[in-house]
Amino acid sequence: MYRSHNCGELNASHINKEVTLAGWVQKSRDKGFIVWVDLRDRYGITQLVFDEERSSKEMLLQAQNLGREFVIQVKGTVIERASKNPNMPTGDIEILVSELTILNEALLPPFTIEDKTDGGEELRMKYRYLDIRRNPVKNSLIFRHKVTQEVRNYLSKEGFIEVETPYLIKSTPEGARDFVVPSRMNAGQFYALPQSPQTFKQLLMVGGMDKYFQIVKCFRDEDLRADRQPEFTQIDCEMAFIEQEDILNAFEGLTRHLLKEVNGVDIEKFPRMLYDDAMRLYGNDKPDIRFGMQFGELNEVAQHKDFGVFNSAELVVGIAVPGGNAYTRKEIDQLIDWVKRPQIGALGMVYCRCNDDGTYKSSVDKFYDEGDLAKWAEVTGAKAGDLICVLSGDKNKVRTQLSALRMEFAERLGLRNPKEFAPLWVMDFPLLEWDEDTERYHAMHHPFTSPKPGQLELLKTNPGDVKANAYDLVMNGNEIGGGSIRIHDKETQALMFDYLGFTPEQAKAQFGFLMDAFQYGAPPHGGLAFGLDRLVAILGGQETIRDFIAFPKNNSGRDVMIDAPAAIDDAQLTELSLKLNLKS
């Protein structure tokens, strides 16, 4: 065998034991008469020693010529280390090598294989197989494995059955663009890669598999960012004969289990927040509640004077920044420039200092007196020493802008502790949202989401007011899961398709298989899907997901390691009945 032990397990109890190790050369230190080599594998590092008194000249020379990342095997004796390293599990011992075998030489890596490397992100993605050798990436992948195993164990104990669903399916409108796959055997026709297993898990409920889950790849051809990949992984779940409360309890239980087993954190009960309240208090539907700075709507106390900017605004809204009165005028001007950036889009910002002596000083003192500003402080919850920041304009836009500013302050003030976890449910989303480009309603989640009980008739009169029987699980300002109670009868589903602008023929062509299945006794059902990549990253104390994915793609959707996507040759195009029409 290549090794009797790994490089992370030997300690003082193994002294005088003969062992065999194998791994990569992390680094070596050559003093001429003695050579130390750090040998690394997945489990840790063990120091090897070669010296002129106890090693042959040939072996000492061989050791002196070992390069970084050479793959070697050694046999030797565990001895006590003269200069111990208390920071290493193997720091009390070293291996006096009696036999050295070079299994494979290596080129000098393009970046150092160390925790703090000198390689940029694009370079490390190109050589991802080397990057995985570094502890941060290696440990992230091991952490993902642990989370995934805990998910499987928990759901299996709760009676869920893991069922695989197809990857080659039919293209259906679910909000994002599909990745399509041409069919050689059916010329001119295409499969789509699933954006989610939505319709299949509903069919599994019709099939009587009343508790289903799957850890599954999903695919969406959309613009990318640090926490989004074209292929991503869901923990996809569905249950039959349930109501919303059953779903919330089941997956709150799973999340509590993960927090406890993976992070050692106990959370008794997750708070619940209505979508409308989340937008009113935080400006987005995935609020980070680890800190305050809730929005205060100021229309009633700010639109009674001659300040036209506020008077013409649909919404005047502010936040109280704790300790913000310490900001200098220069720093506040920089914040104003920050909200004016195109990414935020605000036209400006009004501010008010809450002085320690109980007085107020604002950038609009010409229009507002101390009594007015005291009301601003009351509405926003500002205290002495705080800074009130106010934005105004279109309701939806200004909430988004102030939400971004709130998160920026949280970053600057160190309020987003990655080791603190604040989950909550956001509930009662709008069922439909109006799209200005197409001038029609679209499903906010997907076409199979059920309206809240008793609101079906509202579809005929005020479709924009209908609430969905839908819920998102949010943690630390990120949506980690979302789902809904589904429509399970053909008539309601047909009505939903009608309001979404599908003709009966289009609905039949796209979803006829599901409508047909509903005629054979579909049970009430609902579910939830976690974004595994994002969930693992947050549990691991990070916001971005790439280090928790073995081979991620860059922001252009490219795998720079294997150079994909790539062109295919003319013979393949002909075989697939495809003709390219590329425009420069």
Binding residues for L-aspartate: 174, 220, 445, 486
Helix (H/G/I), strand (E/B), else coil: 135: helix
Annotated binding residues, written as ranges, equal 174, 220-222, 229, 445, 479, 486, 531-534
Note if the bond before 423 is cis, omega within 30 degrees.
no
From residue 256, alpha-carbon distances to 214, 252, 253, 259 in Å are 19, 6, 5, 5
- Residue 161: other Cβ atoms inside 10 A: 13
> How many helices and strands (H and E) does the chain possess?
17, 22
- Residue pointed to by tokens 């836009």: 397
DSSP one-letter string for 24-40: EEEEEEE-SSEEEEEEE
Nearest alpha-carbon partner for 382 in 449, 296, 300, 446 = 296
- Rounded to whole angstroms, the Cα distance separating 272 from 235 reads 22
Annotated binding residues for ATP, written as ranges, equal 220-222, 229, 479, 531-534
| Contact call for residues 439 and 307 (beta carbons, < 8 A) | no
- Rounded to whole angstroms, the Cα distance separating 548 from 508 reads 40
Phi, psi dihedrals of residue 500, rounded to the nearest 5°: -90, 5
Orientation angle between helical segments 532-539 and 244-263, nearest 10 degrees: 40
- Rounded to whole angstroms, the Cα distance separating 186 from 188 reads 6
